[in-house]
Structure 1
């Protein structure tokens, strides 16, 4: 149980976030300040903020549970991260420089410049629908965890998690999101490192802990399966190729990620943020996966540990293994800091989504269709009100997803892969195929999503990771086919890919991006060594 000291630490942390956001709110005078921080934020805060968003509560609880207890689990999850440095090379050299140079706030605004208004509204509306629904389910799932750990009841768990997040998000804007994420990441990494130290120390050191783990849990690469009908979702090839297209879509076409990357001072700073993210993400994921391996070793030596986990539907709730270990092993004060780490992981995921939902609504609908101009102050006020709306909407929805949440939570990655490839293909058509039209791209998007849905329904043995590649290919081919054979029109391209690549060469980013390729090869070698 939590002591008064633990609750004091939790309360102080939440109060600090609100006061800090209130301080940042005094620096805002326009919607550009609110959504992109006046385009003056440095590379390191942006990179760490994006990392924090990726390291959600579902990640730091679910990934260790997958490594420690899931059938077919183990360190094979790390294969997923090999695709990230490769995706970052494409984003650095081609995608983000285009958006950054055009001074966009909503990434979907580019689709109107390149194609037409309907394409912009379709992709923007799809983002709002998918992200708002997923966020409501995320709030539900995390509130359930908080209730089980703290015993607050579901309502107060939602208030603690969502209420404070909405308040500092509304006040602080994108700067509040980014700088609070930096603080949250520091706390989270400290606690994960402490847990890994305690688990390794109990086994006689990190090497001894690795040796004590079962070989199937320690195996980090699976070259023996392909994921095409063999029922093996987490084989090497689908995780590499599927992950590559998934990361391209997520970091390059998703408003919740792109919005922070284009909040930097210039293209060079945006690229540095991507480079930092491409290097640091693997160590972060490896940290909480090794915590999961330590939990597996600990559970083998303490048979009562699994029995001490809360039950759900008659089975142990393995996702609570990490907080259960914290409650059993940490002294008062550090337990409270551990709970803060869980809050930090949850808030760093929610704050960026709420701000991006607000930005997309404001830029693609309210500003786009306004009948009269608003002053900067009026736009700032409306922007905050829109953030309040999305905050209340997602928190309210979390009370009504109980019946569907378990199914949705199991399928959340599948839902992302259902649309990621097709969305990426729409952007790729606009950048790389001059004769592509908006109607062709939208038709391709529909075909790609329907094709992936058919795979989900009729070919469940095909790894959902492959959907990212398959959906991309189907959308691209159908998009080109339905664009007809009209005259090539490059007027909407804004910048030709050759111009972007030439610019990156002048900035020496071609050469620097080769470092990410070397990083990929190094990580591959590390995973090969882990499996020995």
Structure 2
């Protein structure tokens, strides 16, 4: 599969990398303390933040895996788009309740809210869980993307890891969250342009949009699966688990995960934060539709050119379908654009890695270093520590990538399942903190681990149940466990900051701090959800 990349292709890649480093170096001059480094001085606009949120979700695994699912997976096809229906609804919950509360508290680490509401052990438990899961997942991501780079360019595995990982760490260390966000915007634009270009080439090869769609397998056109429920029928990607499981997953990911919330805390005010979420809620579906249509084009092209699939590398006696998109890129695109296509693949990887590394650093600095520091650090010392911690986490994740080879194939298949083990229980910890007074830190920690254990039991003993339901079941088990323990425990005086319910407090904050009626704008997302649902119903 290795392509004979020309000097012009390498020049395009080199210019892109140098441009990112130059931008990061320029941004570094405006950093004076850790808040500049981690939340951009809290004065970023909604568009860069909203596009950055989208870029992080559009990882290399997405732009390779989703087209492969549409084109080749058993039971696959356009049903993947069902997953995106939950995004607008999740954005409503975050805009109206979570983000007004978090922004009001001037957080850098989202887990700081848990200490204010519960206690320090709860904060450290959730923060430590984030560090462990994200660092491991990032190492696996570096490993998998390095394999793609190695196959496409012919570089060795070590060189591929260093090319991707070390470069990302360097501009992350220099640019901080501003570097992450602005590079994400650039990377997203390059990715969209290249995917649109690839789709144009596929449409041309397939005889146009009408002919291509007619040639696409009928069973793969159906985008809604109401016939199954995923509760024991072995149908993972049915409508109901993708809608409800996806809703809990996205609320947890966008509202309780440091790698996402950190961006939302970087805006100038609550209106900018909510507008960033609104942008994501409206534009994410068209982006996913774009790479799903690329998958449809790849399916038709493969049917018309049987030698295309035969050219794919073989893994466990099966073609590696995830490499179909890059294989098409390097064979169909002219010199120069091949280099830009590689930049697009690098960009998708970097947009995921840079934010995770920065958020690992922010969580470590806020929840551990500053929390337990025996002396007060100057702003310059805080900035130096922040950059050093970023280097350490970048080195750890790159180093771990060399040691996951034996288990990576299994983990890569299960990476979404691993996230779904904890998403629901983590969300339960935050929701209980926002909506109850009685529940204490020890109660929600017990609920957290009960939910994770219950989901692990589903994984081991109920394989026919869709893993998307774990986001719901883990939440329910965690909530019920925490409430039960709280009910059976003797009442103690609260040591946390007095709170109202999330609904009342968030409503007050929106009234005082916002110039926009977010209830009306939330209605826009409900309308968008309805439009998307109707559109998918007609797609087949």
Of 369, 373, 391, the residue aligned with 2:372 is 369
Matched, 1:499 2:502: no
Instruction: Report the alpha carbon displacement of residue 396 of structure 1 after superposing the two structures with TM.
Output: 0.2
Matched, 1:515 2:524: yes
Residue matched to 2:157: 154
Of 491, 501, 514, the residue aligned with 1:486 is 491
194-203 or 231-240: bigger deviation: 194-203
Of 260, 263, 284, the residue aligned with 2:263 is 260
Instruction: Report the alpha carbon displacement of residue 381 of structure 1 after superposing the two structures with TM.
Output: 0.3
Q: How many Å separate the matches in 1 of 2:186 and 2:361?
A: 23
With the length of structure 1 as denominator, give the TM-score of the two structures. 0.98
Q: How many Å separate the matches in 2 of 1:146 and 1:43?
A: 33
Q: Is the 8 A contact 2:436 2:501 kept in 1?
A: no
Instruction: Report the alpha carbon displacement of residue 360 of structure 1 after superposing the two structures with TM.
Output: 0.1
Of 58, 68, 73, the residue aligned with 1:70 is 73
Instruction: Report the alpha carbon displacement of residue 317 of structure 1 after superposing the two structures with TM.
Output: 1.0
Deviations 1:76-98 (A, max 9, x none): 00000000101111000000111
Q: How many Å separate the matches in 2 of 1:270 and 1:276?
A: 10
Residues 157 and 495 of structure 1: is their aligned pair in 2 closer, same or farther, counting only changes over 3 Å?
A: farther
Q: Is the 8 A contact 1:76 1:219 kept in 2?
A: yes
Backbone CA RMSD of aligned residues:
1.2
Matched, 1:46 2:81: no
Instruction: Report the alpha carbon displacement of residue 482 of structure 1 after superposing the two structures with TM.
Output: 1.1
Residue matched to 2:186: 183
497-506 or 232-241: bigger deviation: 497-506
90-99 or 483-492: bigger deviation: 483-492
Q: How many Å separate the matches in 1 of 2:309 and 2:498?
A: 57
Instruction: Report the alpha carbon displacement of residue 434 of structure 1 after superposing the two structures with TM.
Output: 1.2
Of 95, 102, 106, the residue aligned with 2:98 is 95
Equivalent residue runs for 1:121-160 within 5 Å: 121-160=124-163
Matched, 1:525 2:534: yes
Deviations 1:478-505 (A, max 9, x none): 0111123627859625454213124435
Of 263, 283, 288, the residue aligned with 1:285 is 288
Deviations 1:372-431 (A, max 9, x none): 001100110000000000000000000000000000000000000000000000000100
SS in 1 for 2:411: helix
Q: Is the 8 A contact 2:421 2:471 kept in 1?
A: yes
Residue matched to 2:382: 379
- The number of equivalent residue pairs is 531
SS in 1 for 2:497: helix
Residue matched to 1:246: 249
In structure 2, runs of 5+ residues without a counterpart are none
Deviations 1:148-170 (A, max 9, x none): 01010100001110011000000
Instruction: Report the alpha carbon displacement of residue 121 of structure 1 after superposing the two structures with TM.
Output: 0.3
Q: How many Å separate the matches in 1 of 2:67 and 2:127?
A: 34
Q: Is the 8 A contact 1:430 1:493 kept in 2?
A: no
Equivalent residue runs for 1:81-480 within 5 Å: 81-480=84-483
With the length of structure 2 as denominator, give the TM-score of the two structures. 0.97
Deviations 1:312-343 (A, max 9, x none): 23321111100111111110000100000000
SS in 1 for 2:10: helix
